[in-house]
Amino acid sequence: MDFMEVLRRRRSIRKYKLDPVPDTLIEGVLEAARLSPSGKNMQPYHFVVVKDRETKNKIDERLSDVPVIIVGLVDPTKGRCSIPDGILAFEHVILAAFNFGLGSCWKGTYLGHLQEHEQEIKEALDVPEHIAVVAYTPIGYPNEAPEMRDKKPLSEIVHYDKW
């Protein structure tokens, strides 16, 4: 699929079919994340693929029935760019999933109201204490087709040379 088409058509999916996702597609999604750029090529990101229902329930009880959850993590000891690098790699997961016909819905844990949930996720996945959870997403075949929300025109968000 054309990259700009991926960007235009991708939506957050909150309803999934129960059909299993082939490992080859999950590997393709993770390969896209592996190819993500990172500061000084430190590649501080890690990913946990969760298929076990009980573990999925510990991460997010609303997602226990989805085929797969991918959790994005980073090693913050790898430098000041590690968190942004992990977020960038996770966006590759989201975009690649759509490209392969899969749905996803970004659930951020590093900032915002889900930050307190990070420790529970780390415990459920046996993540070392020094590793940070950046985000997680369900992955599966969409069982809905949400409409695109309005986006601001470029004239409202782009500035040239100065604000």
Does residue 148 lie within any of the structural domains? no
For residue 46, give the H/E element and its range: strand 45-50
Does residue 113 lie within any of the structural domains? yes
Does residue 103 lie within any of the structural domains? yes
- Residues 94-103 pLDDT 10s: 999 999 999 9
Does the pLDDT of residue 114 top 80, yes or no? no
Q: Exposed, middle or buried: residue 18 (CB in 10 Å: 0-12, 13-18, 19+)?
A: exposed
Does residue 99 lie within any of the structural domains? yes
- Residues 43-91 pLDDT 10s: 999 999 999 999 999 999 999 999 999 999 999 999 889 999 999 999 9
Q: Name the domain count of the chain.
A: 1
Which residue pairs from 106-109 have beta carbons closer than 8 angstroms and sit at least 24 positions apart in sequence? Answer: 106/12, 106/135, 106/137, 107/60, 107/135, 107/136, 107/137, 108/134, 108/135, 109/133, 109/134, 109/135, 109/136
Say if residues 163 and 97 touch (Cβ distance below 8 Å).
no
Does residue 153 lie within any of the structural domains? no
Q: Residue 102: which domain range?
A: 3-132
Q: What is the CATH number of the domain that holds 66?
A: 3.40.109.10
Does residue 57 lie within any of the structural domains? yes
pLDDT of residue 116: 74
Q: What is the pTM of this model?
A: 0.93
Say if residues 90 and 33 touch (Cβ distance below 8 Å).
yes
Does residue 83 lie within any of the structural domains? yes
- Residues 9-30 pLDDT 10s: 999 999 999 999 999 999 999 9
Does the pLDDT of residue 111 top 60, yes or no? no
Does residue 155 lie within any of the structural domains? no
Q: Which of 114, 124, 37, 125 is nearest to 81 (CA)?
A: 37
